[in-house]
Structure 1
């Protein structure tokens, strides 16, 4: 039964991969045929084809991150410092979208045993998602606190459109996304990284009010 279930899951994932990659490949083939038969300006075709190839690369790179076991060399790091580095990196994009990022650390030290670059990737994903959820601008509050004596909590709260309750449980499934151009793999990768750090990821959302993603990590 376990083997059958594994094969079923592998089949669903394979079907999702085939569907997601077939779409941009179909576009590229179509534009190549147009370029062969058309005498019109072809620069726009190159831009679209390049964009579709980038999408294929994104899907494949995120799939590889899920499939390939990550060799992690952990070390004690201050999560607040990692977070501030990521916020500085994301600040130009936030300013362009009229989003103000506010970090509030309610504890003096937030040291966890982690792989720094992997946590940076998680924070980039969550901050990027929050910025995209607020197309008209807004505030992203990030609060770092202790949820218990041996656990650290990071809450990413946006003022976006929110996610319907019935859809929250579907987040984390491959190729399920609420974004027009998303792959649904970014959240899966982030969740896997946090779980590999023996932590958890929870989502709380209210329509037209915003979404909070809470990451808990052992300290």
Structure 2
């Protein structure tokens, strides 16, 4: 029959004072909350940075292209003025409206027309141009690469009005075509986006806008560069965000595991302290009555009949078991020294084997040892004896009808020594294997459940580790890893077995 106890380290319920009802405790899952909240924050920040970066790259590229276009237009205008030998103080902006050719005092209509034609021909042949318009001061299109627009007056165009009023060297924007805008009758539809440039032509004092050149461009090379910039920025943003997230996740995961481990140790320590005080009082109260009961039973056994002697022998056995429980409980709860000594592990195994020799022979168990003549480890004699006694007792109880108990000592890398103790007993289930090192968990009828918990506590106190693997009906293997200690000759390996 299997006996299981609720895990005292992480209780799942709590009892309300005065209510008599057990309610579930709400545990704060640090890792889960960090995963969700950090993912939202990093995603938001990374998305915002990516969006701002792409907007900056596009806007900066568009403004740079617009500035180059405006400089080219202004340079062409000044070159045409010099080439046509126009009178001083005359600007090309005055000549772009053919309706005003007869109003120029110092420039003949023919000269104004030829100068205008030369300039507009350069504008029409700008690379990557979708459409080019020239506006007069009254917002009428006086020239366009699309003849259907010439003579139309654009009355409601916010971008055009702002360009006339701002007096900036160039006003640029990028967007997709709008079917409702009359002045955007392109000769071909843009594939991705187009850039709209407003380039003003001023008077000789540079104060008044005389004409406005509007150029719609789809610079293929610039668009390809922008698209590559999109890919690079978003890929870098996603990769950086993922690295930050997984880096922080790893740190928090380690922190959560350390907190969980520290919490388990703290709760276990508090449990040991509380039970230590209680067990000390109980043990001192039980020792004398148990000793009296055993003495009385031994005296009665000498004069009793055979049937009564059998019952009295059972009484003595149960008293001895209870006394052993009390000793184990006191040892498990007694603070251990933190100063290790050099202890011969092989000698300790031999001593434990001799102590259990009678029980080994009675159960029909074959004991085998493999290892060196001597091996010194960092521990304490009494604590190491307690560990080996607990492991031998568990192994023999698992093999009441015989089997093999094998002890193997080997030297590992990094000055570590491993003791493997395996039996061919009844083994454990996977659930029992996970719980086996919990305090007061036992699979034995009437067991106390402190043996393996004590083994784990002592091994960890001296910097060692313990692990257990088991399969039902196949046996159990316990591996103890000690720190090596320089206490004498380690001896030589020998393949033989002791039985």
Residue deviations 1:134-178, cap 9 Å, x none?
Answer: 111011111100232311110011001110011111112233111
Evaluate the alpha carbon distance shift between residue 95 and residue 49 of structure 1 in structure 2; reply closer, same or farther with a 3 A threshold.
Answer: closer
Native 8 Å contact 2:338 2:461 kept in 1: no
The reply on whether 1:144 has 2:414 as its aligned counterpart is no
Q: Where does structure 2 lack aligned partners over 5 or more consecutive residues?
A: 1-26, 28-262, 290-306, 485-499
The reply on whether 1:120 has 2:392 as its aligned counterpart is no
Native 8 Å contact 2:365 2:404 kept in 1: yes
Q: Residues 51-200 of structure 1 correspond to what in structure 2 (within 5 A)?
A: 53-71=319-337, 74-105=340-371, 107=372, 109-200=374-465
Aligned to 1:34: none
**Structure with greater contact order relative to length (CA < 8 Å, sep ≥ 6):** 1
Native 8 Å contact 2:440 2:450 kept in 1: yes
Native 8 Å contact 1:62 1:189 kept in 2: no
Residue deviations 1:107-131, cap 9 Å, x none?
Answer: 4642112211211121111111111
How big is the shift at 1:83? 0.9
Q: How many residues align?
A: 193
Evaluate the alpha carbon distance shift between residue 113 and residue 206 of structure 1 in structure 2; reply closer, same or farther with a 3 A threshold.
Answer: same
Q: List structure 1 runs of 4+ shifted beyond 3 angstroms.
A: 41-60, 71-74
Larger radius of gyration: 2
Aligned to 2:14: none
Query: Quick one: distance in 1 between partners of 2:373 and 2:313?
Result: 48
Evaluate the alpha carbon distance shift between residue 104 and residue 45 of structure 1 in structure 2; reply closer, same or farther with a 3 A threshold.
Answer: closer
Evaluate the alpha carbon distance shift between residue 49 and residue 156 of structure 1 in structure 2; reply closer, same or farther with a 3 A threshold.
Answer: same
Moved more, 84-93 or 51-60: 51-60
How big is the shift at 1:193? 1.5
Evaluate the alpha carbon distance shift between residue 196 and residue 167 of structure 1 in structure 2; reply closer, same or farther with a 3 A threshold.
Answer: same
Query: Quick one: distance in 2 between partners of 1:111 and 1:138?
Result: 29
Evaluate the alpha carbon distance shift between residue 147 and residue 57 of structure 1 in structure 2; reply closer, same or farther with a 3 A threshold.
Answer: same
Q: Tell me, what secondary structure is at the counterpart of 1:92?
A: helix
Native 8 Å contact 2:347 2:374 kept in 1: no
Native 8 Å contact 2:340 2:462 kept in 1: no
Evaluate the alpha carbon distance shift between residue 47 and residue 135 of structure 1 in structure 2; reply closer, same or farther with a 3 A threshold.
Answer: closer
Q: Where does structure 1 lack aligned partners over 5 or more consecutive residues?
A: 29-40
The reply on whether 1:207 has 2:478 as its aligned counterpart is no
Evaluate the alpha carbon distance shift between residue 83 and residue 171 of structure 1 in structure 2; reply closer, same or farther with a 3 A threshold.
Answer: same
Evaluate the alpha carbon distance shift between residue 54 and residue 81 of structure 1 in structure 2; reply closer, same or farther with a 3 A threshold.
Answer: closer
Q: Tell me, what secondary structure is at the counterpart of 1:176?
A: coil
